[in-house]
Structure 1
Amino acid sequence: ELSILTYDDILIKARDLIRNNPEVRNYFRKKYRYLLIDEFQDTDPLQVEIAYLIAGSGDSTDWQSTKLRDGSIFIVGDPKQSIYHFRRADLPTYRHAEDILVGQGEKKMLYSNFRSTPTIINWVNKTFSKIIGEAGDEHIDPPYTPIRAHISDETHIKHSSIVFLLPKIEDVCELKRVDEFREVEANYIASTINKIVSNGWKIRTEDGVRSISYGDIAILYMANTQNTIYEQAMLNYNIPYAFINADHILEETHEIRGLKTILEAIRNPYDDLAVLGALRSSFFAISDEEIVDYYIHHGKPDITREIHSNGHISIALNILHSLHSNFINRPIYELIDEITASTNLFLRTPILRKDRLVNSLMELIKSTAIEKTEDSTFTLRTLINHIDNLKADNEKKTINLYDPHENTVKLMTIHQAKGLEFPVVILAKLCSGKPRGGPGNVIKDFLGRRIEVKFTKTIKTSGYDSLAEKEGLIEDAENRRLIYVACTRARDYLIIPLITSPEKDMVLSGQYEYFKDKLPSPQEVYENNHLGKVVDNCYYIDPCELEMKEREPRSDLMKILKMNEPTEEYEKERSELVKERQSFLNREESISMALMTPTGIEEFEKYRSDEEMEKAGIPKKREVGRLVHEIMEKVKLDGSNINELTELICEYEDEKTRENIKEMVARILSMPVIERNRETARFIREMPFTYQYDNGQIVSGRIDLVIIDNDELIIVDYKTDSIKEGEWKKRAEDVYKEQMLTYRDAIEASTGKRVREIYLLNPFYGEYRIDQE
C-alpha cells in the first residue's frame, strides 16, 4: 500500500523467487557453488531455506527434503550462543538443518577458547554444564558441550579470575523493591571498579601485562531498564562511562524530544501543543502549575510577541519568541547552537552526561543541518522529520556514541556484546526479574509450518496453549544461554555481584534463579567467613574494603499495592502517602527545584472549588471532566452504582448534564481493558506518586487507575477531551504519551513491578493503547 518493502518482505520475496522458479534456482546454484555460513545459530528460518535451496540439487522445492550437492555448504555455529529468538533466529530450525547436513555430510567439533583464562573456562564449564540443557529437549535446549582454554598462563591474575561481589548485610536487609537492589548493586559495582583500577589489578596485552584502566571494563546486562540508576552511580563515583546503544539513548532522551518540540514551536508559533510541550521540556522545565497560573492571569502563552512580565515562563516565552523571529535569517545549525546556549541546557545536564549525550546527539543532528546548508529543500520541517526518522535509520543505529579507544567503562546489553571481548566483565541486573517477553498473540512454528493466534484470554486457536508453553521453554533456555554468552566475553576477570535479601534466607532470586545450587549462597559466604579470601578458585571481595557512598532513601508505594481497596487501612495509608508527598513537594518548591505534575491542567483543576474555577473563567467542559473523574474514583467497576453516584456528585447540575456525565462514565466502564480485567485483577484508584529524575526534576501526580494482573501493572488514564475526531490519536501521541511514560517510569522505579500496558480511555473516542517502544 505504501510501496515499501521491509527486511522480512525482501527475504520472503527472495525465498519465493528461488523456491518457485527453477531457472532462478539453477542460476544461483551455478553462481554460488560453495556456501560458507558463520554464526549459523543466528540464522532465521527464511535464510536457512534460501541457503539449502541454493546448495541443493534436483527439482525439490522443500528445503527439508532437498539433496545437498557434495561440498556445497559449510556451516559454523554454536547452539550455546543462540540468543536471537526475538529476531526470528530459531534453534529448532538450526538443529533440524544440522541433522540434515550431518546426515549427508560430516560434523567437526571445535572446543578451544582463545580468549579467557583457564580459571574462567573451568568455572564456566562447571557451572553451565548444569544450567544449559535442563529443558531435556535437544531442539530447544541442546546439552552443554565443554570448552577448553587455549591460554595457560594466568600468573598475572590478582586473587582469581572469578570474583564474587557481596554487600554488607545492613545495606540490603530492609530492601524489597527491584530498584532498591539495583541501586545497591550499582553503587557496589562502581566502588569495585574504582578499587580494582586504583589497586592496579593486572591484565594481559599483546606485549605482556599492564594495569587495568577504566576502558578495559564492560558492564553487561540483559535489558536496557533503569539504566539511569547505573549512570548515577558512575557519576557519583567519578567514573568515566559510555552507554553503547545509540538507538536506546535516542528513544529515552528527554533532551532530544525537547529539541524536536522546540523546533516545531519555532516553525509554527500557533501550534499550541508544541508551545506548551516546549515550555514543559527539559530545556525550560516549566511546571504545569506555572503554565496554568500564567494562563489564568495572562491568557494563552504566546511566542509571536515579546512578553513584558516577570517570571520563569515569561523568560522562556521571550526566548522562544526570539528564536522564532530570527530563524528564517540564519542557517539551521546555528539555530540549534542558540537553542542550547539560550536555554542553559549544558547547566541542566550532569557533566559526564553532557560529554556523552549533548555533545554526541546534538552534534549528530547539527551535522545533518550543516551538510544540508546549501540544499534549498532542507527546511526546519525536514530537520524535524529527520529527528523522527533518526531512530529508524539503519545507518544511525550502528553509530556508537563513544570512542572505543577512550578510557571509559562501557555499559551495554549482552546482545550488543556478542562477538566482543573485554579484559573485565561485570554482570549487572541479575537481581531483578527475568526479561520482558513471553509468547505474543501470534506464535509461529516454522518447522511445523503453522500459526496459532490468541484473540482474548478465552478465545484462541486450538494449538495456541501448547505452542505458547513451548515458546516459554525456548525463551527460558535462551535466557540461560544469554548469561553464558556474557560470561564468555571476559578475558581476565569475571565479576558477579550477589545482591540479595537476608529476609529470604539468602536465597538467590530474579535471574540468579538460573544459578540455583550452582553458585555459593550468600549465607554460606557470610557464615564461613569467605569474604576477602579465595575459596575454590573464586575470590570474594570484602565489602568492608570498599569505599561506599550513602544511599538516599526512596518513597514506598508497596503498602498501597498490597492492599485491597476500599478498606479503611487502604485509605489511611494512601492519605498518609499523599500528605508525605505534599510535604516533600512544598519543601523542594521552597528551594526552587524544578517541579512537573504530568497530570496537567485536568489534575490542577480537579482540586479547585467551583467558585475558584468560575472566577478563573475555566470553561464548563472542564467541570464535566472533573465530575467524570470524581465519579470514576468511586464507582463500582460493574457500573451498578452509577445512578446514585451521579445524583450525589452532580446534584447541582441540570438533568441533561447529569445524563451526559452518566453516559460518559458508562462508556469508560465498558471499554475492553476494564472488561477484560474486571473479574480477575485487582484495582487501585488515584494512586499518588512522586519521582525524582537524576537531573533533580521532580515529577508528582496521581494515576487514575492501576490494574494489578499477575504481578504486572496496567496503567489507565481517563481523558475527557472533546476535540475533532481525527485529532484524538495525534493528541494522544503528541501530548499524552510523554505523560504516560512518565507515569510508567515513576511506578516501575517505585514498586519494582513491570508496567505491561498503558491505556488512555476517552468516552468520545474509545480506548487508545500507548506504544511503550
Structure 2
Amino acid sequence: MTQSAQQLLEGLDDAQRVAAEALLGPVCVLAGAGTGKTRAITHRIAYGVATGVYAPNRVMALTFTSRAASELRGRLRALGASGVAARTFHAAALSQLNYFWPIVVGSGLPNVLDGKGRVLGQAAERLHLRVDTPTLRDVAAEIEWRKVSELSLDDYERTFDARSDGIPPRTPPGSLSPRQATDLQRAYEALKDDRRQLDFEDVLLACAGMIEAEPSVAMHVREQYRFFVVDEYQDVSPLQQRLLDLWLGDRSDLCVVGDASQTIYSFAGASSSYLLGFGRQHPDATVVRLEQNYRSSAPIVETANRLMRGRPGALSLHALTGSEPAEQAGPAEQAGREPMNVADPPAPPSVTGYRTDAEEAQAVAAQLRARIRDGAKAQEMAVLYRMNAQAAPLEAALSDVGVAYQMRGGKRFFDQPEVRQAVMTLRAASLATTDEPLFQSVSDVLRSLGWTLEPPQTAGSVRERWESLNAIMGLVDDAPEGMTFREFTDDLLARQAAQHEPTIAAVTLCTLHAAKGLEWDDVHIVGLGDGLMPIGYARTAAAVDEERRLLYVGITRARRRLALSWSANAAGPREPSRFLAELGIRTDRAESANAR
C-alpha cells in the first residue's frame, strides 16, 4: 500500500473507513443524513484506484442529478481519481446509445426531446381533446411514472381499475377519463415514432433493450465497466434497477449507498425496496451503517430522530457533542465548514403559529433580516415549503425588508444572459498567455462587464446582475492553489455543462423536494399546517409516510438553527400538522395567531 493510499483513509471515522476498505463484492452503505456518505464513497473509489484494485476507466459512479454527478467528479479529481466516470443514469445510457445505435441500427440516434409538453399538446389536438397546461404537465408525469415502472399502455389503463391485481389504483390527470388519458399517451408515442424522437425515459428503455437484444453490446459494456457505485440508491426505479442489472451481468462488484428515510420520490416511481432488500438479494454483502451526523446540532438531530422513530429502515443519528477529538470533525472540515462551536451552544428548534400565511412570511423575513444584520451570511439561510405556490408571500415579505433571495428551481444560473456572456468572455481571455494571479485575471474581465468590488446600493435587476457576476468571482476563492486562468475557465465550462451552480449571496427559497442534497446553517420550514404537511391529497398510509420522510429531509438540511412554523389561515381554519405533535417542541403562538 502506498502512502497516498493510506492518507486517503485518514480522517475517516470507523464506519466510513470500513466502507472505504470494502472494495470488492456487494457492499451496502446505509447512510443517514449528514453522515458524510459522499466523503465515504469518494474516498472508497480513490482508495481503490490508489491501491491498484480499480482501473479508473473501469469504474462507474451513478447518481440522479447532474449537479450531484458534477460534485462527485470534482471530489474524485481532488483525490487523484479523475479518470472515473461519474454520471447520472440518463447520461450513462445516452452515452452508450450514441456509441452503439449507429453500429446496431445503421443510422444516427433519434433526437432526444427536451420536454414532453409540445408533443403532448399536438397529440391532444389530433384527438380533439381540450387539455390545459397543468393537465399536460400531469400527463407528462404519468408518462414518466409508467415508463420507469415498466408498465405497458395496456397495464397503465388497468391501473385506473381499483380491482386491478397488484397495481395500486391511480386517478386520471385533470378532467380526463381513463380512456382519454391512455389514448393521449398512445397518440404521444405515435407522434414520437413518426418523427424519430425519444424522451428521457426512452433513453433508458432503449439502452436496456439494446443490451438485452445484442450480445456484442452487452459484452462491450461489461468489459468497459467492472465496478459500480450507486449513490442515493433509495431513489432507484424499477427501470433503472433493470439497467443496472444489465450493466453488471453476472458480476457482483456493486456498492450502493442510501437512506430509506429520505425516500421522497415514490410518486415518480422510486422504490426503497431495492435498498432495504439488498441484503436478501446479496446474502454475502458487506453492510455498513453510517449514523454519526456531522452536519446538524444535537437538538436538530434529536428532532429528526423523533420524527422517524420506529419507521422501517430508519437510522438512528448520533450528533457530535463537542467533546470528540478534533480529528473526528474531519468530514465537516473537508466539506469546507468550521466544526461546531462548543462555546456557542446551538438553539433548540422552535415551532411558531401565526394567523395568516402573510403574517408568517413577514415574521420569517424579519427574523432573516435580523440574523443578516448580526453578521450571518444570507447564502447560509433557506426557507423551505411544500409547494411552489407558497413562495409568493415569502418573496413579497423578503423584498419589503430588503433581503436578497434566490428561487431554487427557477431560471438556471448558467442560462442567465449575463452569465453566458461572462463565461464566453472569460474563456476568450484565458486563451491568451498571462502571468497575472488568477484573482487579477478574472476580476479584470468581470470589471469590464460591470462587476465592482462593492455591491450596488439598489435592488432589482442591477443588484441581481451583480450577484451573478460576484458568484463567478467567488469561485476564485474556492480554486485550488496554483490553478491557472485556463484551468479555471475549463472548470467553469464543466460547471456550465453540468449546471453546477456557484453560491450566490442570497437566502434560498425552495420546495422540500428541491432541498434534497443541500444544507444551510439556518433553515425555516413554513406552512406546517394540516393539508399542506402532510399534503391534502395524501390519503393513504403510504402517502402520509412519504410526507413524513419529506419533512425529515427538510429538518436534516439544517446545521445550527431550525425554525418551524404554520399559520391558522384566516381564510379558513387550519390546524397545525399532525407531525408537529410528535416532535416534542413547545408551540409558540405569535400574538396575532390568538385572534383565530
TM-score by length of 1: 0.36
Q: Which has the higher contact order (CA 8 A, sep 6+)?
A: 2
